[in-house]
Amino acid sequence: MATNNASKIALVTGATRGIGLETVRQLAASGVHVLLAGRDHAKAAAAAQALQGEGLPVEAIALDVTDEASIAATAKDVAERHGRLDILVNNAGILRDEMGRKPSEQSLAAWRDTFETNLFAVVAVTTAFLPLLHKSAAGRIVNVSSILGSIALHADPASPIYDFKVPAYNVSKTAVNAWTVQLAHELRDTNIKVNAVHPGYVKTDMNAGEGELEIADGARTSVRLAQVGADGPNGGFFYFEDALPW
């Protein structure tokens, strides 16, 4: 059962394009007031304006998820203007692995850049906004992960991802899943729920449009987990309605 969306406030990171932008659109269409966050304020403002033109309750907010000062300033701004946060979707992510190179051949710089955005930024943003989520009657955190973070599937020769080894990206998402479990344990006796999601193999700029799903479908799992009711899961890993193996 979904929670009531009346007057809810959501923030979606990495939301100027792709799955993030569509997540903003779908949440806003359901009645949530959405803060569309992007590192480039001009791009965020343009994206928000387009959605506002469709009559959706969206506003732009500048947020560089890899910059501590930017995170702190944004959290302060949201606190001053809204007083709480009901939904946080950690959507921002990057892929720095060089395709065609073996796991041992990927550069250390690629590993560091990937973890800076895909893991450390998720932890930093979440901890900064957690006090505002505690002020919500039903706080929800969605960490956008990937099926490529599943150790069980990577170790299974029969798995469809068995041969898809882009290690920095894959392992960063494994770490996001592990972080989700740790945080869910901390929040187990609160009104906040945190879950990880696999959006699917979506046609985005990250894979040059070579996915199987349209972007609208890629946002569906994030939107669903952002709105689960009190009887919903905490500390899970999902693709649409299905739980995925860690």
The answer to whether residue 162 is catalytic is no
Q: For residue 203, give the CATH number of its domain.
A: 3.40.50.720
Q: Which of 200, 206, 205, 203 lies closest to 222, judged by CA? A: 200
Q: pTM value?
A: 0.94
pLDDT of residue 215: 86
Torsion of CA 170, 148, 210, 141, to 10 degrees: -90
Residue 84 in contact with residue 135, Cβ under 8 Å? yes
pLDDT of residue 178: 98
Judge whether 202 lies within some domain.
Answer: yes
Q: Pick the catalytic residue: 8, 76, 169, 201?
A: 169
pLDDT of residue 206: 56
Distance CA 212, CA 209 (A): 9
Judge whether 1 lies within some domain.
Answer: no
Judge whether 4 lies within some domain.
Answer: no
Tell me how many domains the chain contains: 1
**Look-up: residue for tokens 């928000």?**
48
Q: Residues for the chain: how many in total?
A: 246
Distance CA 142, CA 163 (A): 28
Q: Pick the catalytic residue: 8, 173, 193, 203?
A: 173
Distance CA 105, CA 114 (A): 15
Residue 176 in contact with residue 196, Cβ under 8 Å? yes
Where in the sequence is the domain holding 50, given as residue range(s)? 9-243
Q: What is the pLDDT along the chain (246 residues), one digit of tens a residue?
A: 444 565 899 999 999 999 999 999 999 999 999 999 999 999 999 999 999 999 999 999 999 999 999 999 999 999 999 999 999 999 999 999 999 999 999 999 999 999 999 999 999 999 999 999 999 999 999 999 999 999 999 999 999 999 999 999 999 999 999 999 999 999 999 999 999 999 988 766 655 556 668 888 999 999 999 999 999 999 999 999 999 999
Judge whether 2 lies within some domain.
Answer: no
The answer to whether residue 169 is catalytic is yes
Q: Which of 168, 121, 116 lies closest to 146, judged by CA? A: 168
Judge whether 44 lies within some domain.
Answer: yes
Judge whether 3 lies within some domain.
Answer: no
Judge whether 46 lies within some domain.
Answer: yes
Give Dmax over CA atoms of the chain in angstroms.
Answer: 52
pLDDT of residue 203: 66
